[in-house]
Amino acid sequence: MVKIGSHVSMSGDDMFLVSVKEAQSYQATALMVYTGAPQNTRRKAMDQLKVDEALDYMQSIGFDPNNVVVHAPYIMNLANPSEEKRAFAVSFLTEEIKRTAHMNANQIVLHPGSAVGKDRPQAIKWIAEGLNQVIDNTKDLSVKIALETMAGKGNEVGKTFEELNEIISLVDEKNRLSVCFDTCHTHDAGYDIVGDFDGVMKHFDQVVGNQYISVFHINDSKNEKGASKDRHENIGFGYIGYEALLKVIYHKDFLDIPKILETPYINDKAPYLEELAMIRDKTFDPQLKEKIEQKV
Ligand code: FE
Ligand code: FE
Ligand code: ZN
């Protein structure tokens, strides 16, 4: 059974318990949450996250807590030229890692950062410096920080495998780092996910090392390879396509790695129950979007 699910919400009074129930409603075997709104840094106190309730519930339905992934908010930037803002990012990420550990999750996905001043080597140094501080602040924890492969929109760092490797090489405790491999982002960054996934992974293995991959984001793309755009599309409806994504999902080298869909809602409705069914059945449904649109 592949470990696959989607990002789910964590909100209201029941917080993490709501996330697990939402994942269950999609028949998912993995899930990803933001600990609050991804576009801000307001967060609830740890004792309000309903962690014990969520863990009990996971046990009752046989959901493996190792397949829970946390995603850090994307507004913090470890490469911000402002020293004050970098310090804020370090302290916020430190707290996020404590929350992740409190939730019994073992990894948090992070967008490495953005080279605001366009000086990429400097940005990479700041990111690594920030990571070293965060790791030092959370020495007693084993949560991994999963650096995400980025599409290269704007001045995003992490568009190439080489950049990810540069960051990793500057971090002391490498066992606290891993990589989140996003299919839409790597395709948009110019890697041939469609025609030569094996070749791309061979390249990744040479530059970074496949053992670093701790989670995949499985998304189709609204744009052509190399567009540097980062606009996700539903599975099978974009430029990557159903067959290529299925090949990633069932690739023998990565069967054990949790996989998370971050595909767009259709008419304000979550597509995940249907998309996951289409993945399980290994049959593409060209009517999927219409079916979800008409759901009541
Ligand atoms: Fe992300
Ligand atoms: Fe992603
Ligand atoms: Zn994205």
What is the number of the ligand closest to the CA of 185? 3
- Segments of the chain with pLDDT less than 70: none
Q: What DSSP line would sit under the chain, residue for residue? A: ---EEEE---BTTTHHHHHHHHHHHTT-SEEEEESS-TT------GGGS-HHHHHHHHHHHT--GGGEEEE--TT--TT-SSHHHHHHHHHHHHHHHHHHHHTT--EEEE--EE-TTS-HHHHHHHHHHHHHHHHHHTTT---EEEEEP----TTEE-SSHHHHHHHHHT-S-GGGEEEEEEHHHHHHHT--TTT-HHHHHHHHHHHT-GGGEEEEEE-EESS-TT-----EE-TTSSSS-HHHHHHHHT-GGGTTS-EEE-PPPBTTB--HHHHHHHHHTT---TTHHHHHHH--
End-to-end C-alpha distance for the chain, whole angstroms: 30
Report the DSSP pairing between strands 220-221 and 232-233: antiparallel
What is the number of the ligand closest to the CA of 152? 3
What is the number of the ligand closest to the CA of 232? 3
Whole-model pTM: value is 0.97
Q: How far apart, in whole angstroms, are the C-alpha atoms of residue 112 and residue 38?
A: 15
What does the pLDDT look like over 153-201, one tens digit per residue?
Answer: 999 999 999 999 999 999 999 999 999 999 999 999 999 999 999 999 9
**What pLDDT is stored for residue 276 in this prediction?**
98
**What pLDDT is stored for residue 135 in this prediction?**
98
Exposure class string for 266-285: b at 16+ Cβ within 10 A, else e: beeebbbbbbbebbeeeebb
**What pLDDT is stored for residue 41 in this prediction?**
86
What is the number of the ligand closest to the CA of 74? 1
**What pLDDT is stored for residue 38 in this prediction?**
83
**What pLDDT is stored for residue 230 in this prediction?**
97
Q: How far is the CA of 222 from the centre of ligand 2 (A)?
A: 14
**What pLDDT is stored for residue 75 in this prediction?**
85
Q: How far is the CA of 148 from the centre of ligand 1 (A)?
A: 6
**What pLDDT is stored for residue 118 in this prediction?**
82
CB 262 within 8 A of CB 7: yes
Q: How far apart, in whole angstroms, are the C-alpha atoms of residue 240 and residue 262?
A: 14
Report the DSSP pairing between strands 177-182 and 213-218: parallel
**What pLDDT is stored for residue 74 in this prediction?**
87
Q: How far is the CA of 262 from the centre of ligand 2 (A)?
A: 7
Q: How far is the CA of 146 from the centre of ligand 1 (A)?
A: 10
